[in-house]
Amino acid sequence: MTGIDALLAASRAGVHRPGPAEVVAAQARGALVVDTRTEAQRRRQGELPGALVIDRTVLEWRLDPTSDARIPEATGWDVEVVVVCRQGYSSSLAAASLRAIGLHRATDLAGGVEAWLAAGLPVTCGPADVRE
């Protein structure tokens, strides 16, 4: 099987994708919650409290602890990262890419921000912690 559905299935194979309440717990224990949604999506849906906003186009460089372009929180390969997007599709691919570069604890929020909102969890109107 080929195509995006196969790639998505492969990116999720054997990976626990936490739900919204689990992401809140992960964040409380120090996990990085990384929001890759566009500015327009964040404006419509709200900002996730405590999330770092990193554009998908630079995600790997910002989180690779050996990259000259890393953010300060990218302290090692064992950092727990939960990637978030609107519905949980592109975040699965992003988390798989992070695992491929060595961040073995990278995962994504099942259902994305839409699941977060459906669970009644809070969002804010900003400002976002945008990392460029």
For the chain, give every domain's residue range.
4-131
pLDDT attached to residue 126: 82
pLDDT attached to residue 3: 96
pLDDT attached to residue 2: 85
- Helices 90-100 and 4-12: crossing angle in degrees, nearest 10, is 60
- Would you say 83 and 36 are in contact if contact means Cβ atoms under 8 Å apart? yes
pLDDT attached to residue 1: 64
pLDDT attached to residue 38: 97
Cα angle 44, 109, 7; round to 5: 105
Q: CA-CA distance, 8 to 122, in Å (whole number)? A: 28
Q: CA-CA distance, 85 to 114, in Å (whole number)? A: 9
Structure tokens of 33? 């919650």
pTM, 2 dp: 0.96
CATH superfamily of 4-131: Rhodanese-like domain (3.40.250.10)
pLDDT attached to residue 48: 97
Count other C-beta atoms under 10 Å from residue 29's C-beta.
7
53 closest CA partner among 45, 13, 96? 45
In tens digits, the chain (132 residues) has pLDDT values of: 689 999 999 999 999 999 999 999 999 999 999 999 999 999 999 999 999 999 999 999 999 999 999 999 999 999 999 999 999 999 999 999 999 999 999 999 999 999 999 999 999 998 999 998
